[in-house]
Amino acid sequence: MIVKKWCPCAPWDMAGIERWLNEMAAQGYVFDRWTDFLGRVTFHTDPAAAEYRYCLDPIGKWPKEDELRERIACYRDAGWRYMDKIETLYSIFRADDPQASALYTDRESLGWAMRRLIRRQWLRVLVVLVWLAFLCRDSLVTAVTNPTLIPMRLILHFESLFPLFLLLVLLVAGEVSAALWRSVRLTGIRRRLLREEDPGPVRRRSSWGTQWVLTGLLVAGSVGVFAFSLWMDGRTTDRLPEDPAQWDFPHVTLAEMLPEGSHILKEYNAQELLHYNTARRSVLAPEQYDVEQGVYARLSSTARREYYLDLEYIRTISPALAAVVHTGLADQIQADWEDYKKLVEKNPSNPSLAFPQAETVSHPGLDRLIRFDYHRSDETVPRSIFVGQLGSQVFVLNVKIPDPEAALELLVRRLTEN
């Protein structure tokens, strides 16, 4: 009868694997084959198995086929028959005669095998880190070039990003700590071997079957966390009512900022006003509103002009978090302009503009205010961006209107009244 078992010993535990094979023989199981890497071992039952003895021989630093054949032939003369090998670490030999002399083992060669295993642990960590770096390459670039954006995004998207961030930290920490623990154990065994001491069997680990179950649970948990993050991202985003009178947060509208006497033109698919308004929320920033409005209008006999207003309003749970969001938003705008500048340089057909620089200004009623002014060559109306903070409130006001200061003053007044 064929039986398959998971080896309960770590690959570096030479004495433990030998003892386990001999214990299986005493129970009537004859070793047939070792599945590389997985540690799945095939046996068949035979009453004569109780007379068999098993011994592991280290393959050496750089195993060569001719050297292995010579060693197998030499051990055959001593009564030991080659059965299989465990990866490139050990050869498994069996003696059918209980009186066969003990198999010679080269402890120095086994020490070299331990050294390869130590290197393999850290190579495994390196592969995992490279893989994670590839998956998170955009976030890593952002963390280096614009480190303030990471905490800002965690605050604004806490429910969806924090589980992924925590999972990533746990995976890296778990892999590194496991490799460190294995390396310490291997180093201790190798030192005893080089001193010609018997390392003895290492405490048995859980079976490979249990480890595969735990690995499956980890993979399923990771997929679950990812799915939960996507689900939460959708759950935390809603549409605002179309009527600004129903908006329960400090705001200004484009209709309030148009020059007096403006005639609005229907040029957005027969709509007078282009608008896209959303509301988000998170534990750390429970109020997040984004209002985008655009319109074409004509004043008396002048040519038609496009006016635009984009208001992002955020209220966090504390002024300290608001300061982090304020800095991150300002850096995000600066980074976006850097990217646009590179795009213009690569494609001269894109509209040119005077590259804006952040200007820190003081304003009555605000704790912080940063201003960007810019003018595209294909537009007649300049644009201004204001990034401000008042207590736990943060706003980004991006306008293309004749009097941007008037929009700022109106918004600040409503912020202070809130």
Asked if residue 214 and residue 146 are part of one domain, the reply reads: yes
Q: Which residue, 188, 208, 235, sits at the end of a domain?
A: 235
The string of pLDDT tens digits covering residues 101-143 is 777 556 666 666 667 767 777 787 788 778 778 877 777 777 7
Asked if residue 177 and residue 242 are part of one domain, the reply reads: no
Asked if residue 207 and residue 77 are part of one domain, the reply reads: yes
Q: Report angle CA 138, 139, 140 to the nearest 5 degrees.
A: 90
Q: Which range scores top for mean pLDDT: 32-36, 159-163, 332-336, 386-390?
A: 386-390
Asked if residue 133 and residue 120 are part of one domain, the reply reads: yes
User: Tell me, what amino acid is at 393?
Assistant: Q
Q: Report the C-alpha gap between 282 and 158 in whole angstroms.
A: 6
- What local confidence, expressed as pLDDT, does residue 406 receive? 92
Asked if residue 229 and residue 242 are part of one domain, the reply reads: no
Domain region containing 327:
238-417
Q: Which residue, 188, 215, 235, sits at the end of a domain?
A: 235
Interval 215-227 mean pLDDT? 70
* Residue from 40, 392, 348, 48 nearest 250 by CA: 392
Q: Give the mean pLDDT of the chain.
A: 80
Task: Quote the number of domains for the chain.
Answer: 2
User: Tell me, what amino acid is at 10?
Assistant: A
Asked if residue 261 and residue 206 are part of one domain, the reply reads: no
Asked if residue 255 and residue 171 are part of one domain, the reply reads: no
Give Cα 112 distance to the centre of its chain: 35
Q: Where are the beta strands (DSSP E) in 195-286?
A: 237-239, 262-265, 274-280
Interval 286-308 mean pLDDT? 82
Asked if residue 255 and residue 391 are part of one domain, the reply reads: yes
Asked if residue 249 and residue 347 are part of one domain, the reply reads: yes
- What local confidence, expressed as pLDDT, does residue 102 receive? 73
Asked if residue 273 and residue 206 are part of one domain, the reply reads: no
Q: Where are the alpha helices (DSSP H) in 87-157?
A: 107-135, 137-145, 149-156
pLDDT at residue 216 greater than cutoff 80: no
Asked if residue 89 and residue 180 are part of one domain, the reply reads: yes
* Residue from 236, 253, 282, 250 nearest 391 by CA: 250
By CB neighbour count within 10 A (0-12 exposed, 13-18 middle, 19+ buried), where does 409 fall? middle
Q: Which residues of 181-201 are buried (b: 16+ CB within 10 A; e: fewer)?
A: ebbebbeebbeebeeeeebee
Considering only residues 198 and 273, tell me which one the structure prediction assigns the higher pLDDT: 198
- What local confidence, expressed as pLDDT, does residue 200 receive? 62
Interval 269-286 mean pLDDT? 71
Asked if residue 270 and residue 224 are part of one domain, the reply reads: no
Q: Which residue, 202, 235, 268, sits at the end of a domain?
A: 235
Interval 21-33 mean pLDDT? 92
The predicted model scores a pTM of 0.67
